Chains A and B, each alone.
Chain A
Amino acid sequence: MSALMIRDLHKSYGGLEILAGINLEARTGEFVALVGPSGCGKSTLLAMIAGLETVTSGEIWIGDRLVNSVQPKDRDIAMVFQSYALYPTMTVRQNITFGMESRGVPKAEQAEAVKRVAALLQIEQLLNRKPGQLSGGQRQRVAMGRALVRDPKLFLFDEPLSNLDAKLRVDMRTEIKKLHHRVGKTTVYVTHDQVEAMTLASRIAVMNQGSVQQFDTPKRIYDRPTNMFVAGFMGSPAMNFIPARFTGSTSISVRAADGGDATLALAAPLPAGAPKDVVLGVRPEHIYRFTTDLKSRKPAVEPMQAPVELVEPTGAETLAVLRLGDLEITGRFEPDDAPVMGETITLGIDMSRACLFDPATKALL
């Protein structure tokens, strides 16, 4: 059964269309991430699920209930906001119990619930403090506590980690993941950070300009992006796009570093009806230093020459900017085996992992 179902959802302000026909579904217990650049409509979509924005057309189902015109408080949801939205004049305890008090839950039951949530999030010693006296990470926990205490059908997170510094963000990300494993609630999580989406979600909806570009598991989205937007948005450094041309049914040629053409054999025959000109998409980690040993291990690796323009060591890996005609591509190498600046190396491109796109429609072939 699905905990959340969205059918052909539209939202417009006046003549401006924000969401153009969203279809989405979250199975019970699933963690769905909505990811996209700012202005793609992901936060509006979340606000509509919460009932904070009206629906222009389409349907939102939570559980087996159509909630289009149901008040936020009756939707059985809980939400964590980007700014945390903790009530500044109340203590942590009052923040957590405010919702229960509004709904007339008996005092004893409230105390029990606070105890349970405080223990779960390890915020017992903060219960009598005001939000102003808490650090960013503590506020984050309290905000989650306020959501958890409700025991809702659906958890909504609106970029909850974007106000934290880099290190804390990684810690809290791990914690959210652990928490989700323990609590097992259906969650919809909005973020602009593709790493957050990849690490947390069981399924990701990549959004752009008011529509869902692809809705799939993190692995499928990473390996087989349906179009060039998804391919470019997910993954850092981004996927390399190299213009190419078919030279036979199983090979393509690309403009090489010396201005001539390099022919690369495809791992699989091209689909029927594919255009003659295509775009070859290669992730940086699928570019290697070519050796015969590599070829024997990965038969789909195709060699190609390229001079090294720039080397960026990050410690764990070394990124190299390689020149290919008037194009720059990025490769990811082992620090011990990294090319040096100025060197011309023979690349091995793993064609079995490469994607081909139609340059006209930007879609995956």
Chain B
Amino acid sequence: MSTRDLTVPVTAPATPWRQRLGTIVPILVLAPSLAASFVYVFVFTLWTLYLSLSSSSLMPTYGFVGLDNYASLWANRRWNIAYTNLFLFSGFYIVGSMAIGLLLAILIDQRVRGEAVWRTIFLYPLAVSFIVTGTVWSWLYNPVDGIQAFVRGLGWADFSFALTANRNTAIYAVIITGIWQSSGFAMALFLAGLRSVDPDLIKAAQIDGASVSRTYRKVILPTIAPIFLAVAVIQIQFAIKTFDLVAALTRGGPGVSTTFPAIYVYDLMFQRGQIGEGAAAAMMMLAALAVVLVPYSVWIVWRRRAEGRNG
């Protein structure tokens, strides 16, 4: 019996340098920003986490104190107000700006005359920085020379509008200003969503005898549901970072009634020399963000998989 050797020796073709360069260049180009993101996001987060467990005061030190900083943080009334404010503000701000943004988008979607003008007007607040917004609105809220003074000047002598002067209402002044600032942004996203809906769907609903409001509720808005989520997520991270708006509008006052976590962190770290407790507060802000963003990312991944399954 004779066997023939059927295996032919194969030499791997040398990868041409051009091809190798082609795979290396993207990595080279992306490397600096990847490294920077890694250092600034992960390294500093971990460092802050470590500081929050340390006895740092004016300067970072590394004496381990366990959860002492967190305990003293949560024992502080001002921090509790700040954290409550964060949820109060986030809730009203997100729901309010989305509701008003959606309403504006639906109104503009009715093919109004001068649509571009309206769009620009409503989107304009977004072009103004929070500092400017806060400053201008602080004048408007100011009882001495703001809206109250103006209306009283018109003759209504006992008209009262002094949200920022009262510690119970000051937070609503911040909420209203926040909504004013970002409704236009929500409107722009919603309008883009409304315009992407297949016009045949609306015609079909028309023939099906659905009223305009029913068409929006049952057909159009469910179709653009992903946009609601996107707007909410963007607004939430605006809300949690809120610093400059409050700094310019009320400076956290009256008293401590409009203190926000970001202001509190800044105060502890750079004004009072309590870096350890400030780091603990910063970690609590991160936790608030994670509560929102982690489920969102999980949902995005899940949806992509589901879409992959359905082709």
Q: Tell me whether B198 is interfacial, beta carbon within 8 Å.
A: yes
Are the C-beta atoms of B208 and A73 separated by less than 8 Å? yes
Is B200 part of the contact surface with A, judged by Cβ < 8 Å? yes
Contact with A along B194-234 (1 / 0, CB 8 A): 00001011011111111100100011001101000000000
Over the window 70-84 of chain A, the binary record of Cβ atoms lying under 8 Å from chain B Cβ atoms (1 yes, 0 no) is 011110011101110
Question: Which of B203, B209, B223 is in CB contact (< 8 Å) with A102?
Answer: B209
Give me 21 A-to-B residue pairs in the complex whose CB atoms sit less than 8 angstroms apart, sorted by A's number: A47-B203, A52-B203, A72-B203, A72-B207, A73-B207, A73-B209, A73-B210, A79-B207, A82-B200, A83-B198, A85-B201, A87-B205, A87-B219, A89-B223, A89-B225, A99-B208, A99-B210, A102-B208, A102-B214, A132-B310, A146-B204
Q: Are B218 and A98 in contact, with the CB atoms below 8 A?
A: yes
Q: Is the CB of B310 within 8 A of A133?
A: yes
The answer, among A81, A102, A132, for a CB contact under 8 Å with B211, is: A102
How many Å lie between the Cα of A30 and that of B210 in the bound state? 29
Taking A82-B200, A83-B198, A102-B214 as contacts, is the C-beta distance between A88 and B223 under 8 angstroms? yes
- Is A356 an interface position by the 8 A CB rule? no
Q: Which residue of B lies closest to A94 (CB)?
A: B218
A52 to B200, CA, bound (A): 10
The answer to whether residues A98 and B200 also contact, given A87-B219, A132-B310 and a CB cut-off of 8 A, is: no
Which of A47, A82, A89, A99 is in CB contact (< 8 Å) with B209?
Answer: A99
8 Å CB contacts to B: which residues of A197-224?
none
> Which A residues touch B204, using CB under 8 A?
79, 81, 85, 87, 146
Q: How far is the CB of A124 from chain B (nearest CB, A)?
A: 21
Interface residues of A (CB under 8 A from B): 47, 50-52, 71-74, 77-79, 81-83, 85, 87-90, 98-99, 102-103, 132-133, 146
The answer for the CA separation of A34 and B300 in the assembled complex, in Å, is 45
Per the CB 8 Å criterion, the residue count for chain B at the interface is 19
- List residues of chain B with CB within 8 A of the CB of A79: 203-204, 207
Q: Please, which residue of chain B has its CB at the minimum distance from the CB of A82?
A: B200
**Secondary structure type dominating chain B contacts:** helix
Q: If A82-B200, A133-B310 touch, does A98 touch B223 (CB 8 Å cutoff)?
A: no
| A90 contacts across to B, CB distance below 8 A | 218, 222
Complex formed: what's the CA distance from A47 to B203 in Å?
9
Contact at A52–B201, with CB atoms within 8 Å?
no
Q: Are A89 and B222 in contact (CB under 8 A)?
A: yes
- B223 neighbours in A (Cβ, 8 Å): 87-89
| Cβ–Cβ < 8 Å partners of B200 in chain A | 81-83, 85
Q: A88-B223, A89-B225 are in contact. Are A77 and B207 (CB under 8 A)?
A: yes
Query: Is the pair B207, A98 in contact by a Cβ cutoff of 8 Å?
Result: no
Say whether A52 contacts B206, CB under 8 Å: yes
**Nearest B residue (CB) for A158:** B200
Q: Give Cα A49 to B203, complex, Å.
A: 13
Contact across chains for B201 and A87 when beta carbons are under 8 A apart: yes
Q: Please give the distance in Å from B197's CB to the nearest CB on chain A.
A: 10
B201, B204, B206, B210: most-surrounded residue (chain A CB, <10 A) = B204
Other 15 A-B pairs with CB < 8 A, given A71-B206, A81-B200, A85-B204: A50-B203, A50-B207, A51-B207, A79-B207, A81-B203, A82-B200, A87-B201, A87-B204, A87-B218, A89-B223, A90-B218, A98-B205, A99-B208, A102-B210, A103-B209
Q: In the bound complex, what is the Cα–Cα distance between A89 and B224 (angstroms)?
A: 10
In the bound complex, residues from chain B placing their C-beta under 8 Å from that of A85 are 198, 200-201, 203-204
Q: Give chain A residues whose Cβ lies under 8 Å from the Cβ of B198.
A: 83, 85
Docked complex Cα distance between A85 and B219 (Å):
11
A157 vs chain B, min Cβ distance (A) = 13
Nearest opposing residue in chain B for A130, CB measure: B310
Q: Which residues of A contact B208 (CB under 8 A)?
A: 73, 98-99, 102, 146
